[in-house]
Amino acid sequence: MEAMELEELAEAGTAREAMYKIEAGAFDLAIVDIGLPDRSGLDIVETLARRPGAPSFFVLSMETNRALVRKALQFGASGYASKSIPIANLVLALELVLEGELFVEGELLRDLLTSALREPEERPELRERFEALTPREREFLDAILGGLTAKEIATRLGVSQRTAENYQSSIYSKIGARTPVDLVKLALRVGLMIAP
């Protein structure tokens, strides 16, 4: 496995220092720990993740609480993993995030999806949103729910990556999902998937 190419690397010991360096620099990726001395690393994500030109945020933490994982994704994080993740898997996860994909470590993702089955049912029109998808959109939906990246979906369905990304955006919009995790949870609620 080739090592990731790093053009510029910066390190910070506090949330305040990290926010200053992120705002002053031009980074593609920010790896954030939740347990910082002055503030929660999630404050960094919440404050900066949705700003124009912000880097992708990857939360790497000892904290594996489902609520924290969900909150990080809601704030705009593109990845979440525990500090026990094997280094080879972490490198692959960071590369995925840099390519614009979402990554949640396997055990944490399964926990999120399983919890979706215990939450209240969505409004009746949720199923209608899925049923309103065209046959072609349904093909893309099945591929997304299968865990494929945009690049893999493009290869499987014989379209360009841009077309695959456009279909993904359209499906998220029609269903009312903001992230792949949201989409999977909504699909679980209408019986389109079985939680691991």
Sorted by where each begins, the domain ranges of the chain are 15-115, 122-189
CATH class of 15-115: alpha beta
Query: Quick check: 29 pLDDT over 50?
Result: yes
CB 32 within 8 A of CB 73: no
Q: What is the pTM of this model?
A: 0.58
CATH class of 122-189: mainly alpha
pLDDT of 186 reads 80
pLDDT digits (tens, 9 = 90+) for 167-196: 988 999 999 888 777 787 788 777 665 444
pLDDT of 112 reads 66
Q: Is 108 left (phi over 0), alpha (psi -120 to 50) or beta?
A: alpha
Strand pairing report for 29-32 and 79-82: unpaired
CB 68 within 8 A of CB 34: yes
Distance between CA atoms of residues 133 and 130, nearest Å: 6
pLDDT digits (tens, 9 = 90+) for 39-50: 889 999 999 988
